[in-house]
Amino acid sequence: MTASAPPSPHNEAQARAALARRALPLLDLTDLSDTATAAAVEDLCGKALASGVAAVCVWPDFVAESARSLRGSGVRVATVINFPEGADDIERAVSDTRATLADGADEIDLVLPYRALMRGEAESARAMIAAVRDACAGRLLKVILETGELDDAALIAQASRLSLEAGADFIKTSTGKTPVSATLPAAEIMLAALRAHGDRPAGLKVSGGLRRVEDAGAYLALADRIMGPDWVSPSTFRIGASALHAELVRALEAAP
């Protein structure tokens, strides 16, 4: 039997570019670093405008500046609440949500009180999501499950179902602040929960540790397999990343 020839560099570059074209509009271009500055956020917004990503995701202190920079562009402003600790303080989470929405946030990424869930206190976790859902007043709510900290597949499935039942528009893998962030097995469990959730459409955001074009491709392929080839769009699938953006842009520039 004759072995098949390896893909040519030309074809490989084209395939990477095709993946980059698909992934770039799904990106939540993110700066949640401990050293984030107004200048860095201004640069982030400039990159977002130049490349047509879905959203920027920034600390609450930078929401107003980002909203001004991106006004009228179609690029949305996301921010984080109860981040990264996943504390149990519902009143604080609601107050912070209302403040960031007043500053111009379009999307809220809320960390689930995952330790409460691990202690068997599912109703307190559900109560926080429901309260923040009400405070969002129609804005997009993504609930971060922190899957790398949950003990097993059953807990990830429970967190996914609970979040969707309480009103999450997206379920999100990770904060990117723990030793284990997004993984394909966790994303598969979350996609299965989305497929089984018949009440209303909802989406998946994978975040933390995605740095290569191939990383994005692996999650896109997983979503295509479980949800169907026409499911992925910015309204159903997001990738939270910072370093990945540069790799996607390089892949497009390198295409023949």
Q: Is residue 216 part of a domain?
A: yes
**pLDDT of 4 strictly over 70:** no
Whether the per-residue pLDDT at 2 is higher than 90: the answer is no
Q: What pLDDT is stored for residue 194 in this prediction?
A: 98
**pLDDT exceeds 50 at position 40:** yes
Residue 230 belongs to some domain of the structure: yes
Q: Is the pLDDT of residue 92 over 90?
A: yes
| Confidence check: pLDDT of 130 > 90 | yes
pLDDT band for position 9 (cuts 50, 70, 90): confident
Catalytic residue chosen out of the listed positions 31, 103, 205, 215:
205
Answer whether residue 5 is part of any domain.
no
What tokens appear for 158 in the block?
């429970």
3 is a domain residue = no
Q: Would residue 142 show up in a list of annotated catalytic residues for this protein?
A: no
Given 103, 109, 169, 215, the catalytic residue:
109
Cα 163 from Cα 144, distance rounded (Å):
9
pLDDT band at 1 (very low <50, low <70, confident <90, very high): very low
What is the structure's pLDDT at 76?
98
- Residue 61: give its domain's CATH number: 3.20.20.70
Tell whether 18 is covered by a domain: yes
Q: Is residue 217 part of a domain?
A: yes
Q: pTM of this prediction? A: 0.95
Task: Report how many domains make up the chain.
Answer: 1
User: What average pLDDT does the chain have?
Assistant: 95
Active-site residue, from 28, 169, 172, 215? 172
User: Is 177 considered catalytic here?
Assistant: no
47 included as an active-site residue: no
Parent domain of 33: 10-254
Q: Tell me the mean pLDDT in the region 79-105.
A: 98
Instruction: Give the contacts of 195 (CB within 8 A, at least 6 positions apart).
Output: 226, 227
| Band of pLDDT at residue 199, cut at 50, 70 and 90 | confident
Share of the chain above pLDDT 90, in %: 93
| Average pLDDT of the segment spanning 112-138 | 97
Specify if 1 maps to a domain: no
| In a domain? residue 83 | yes
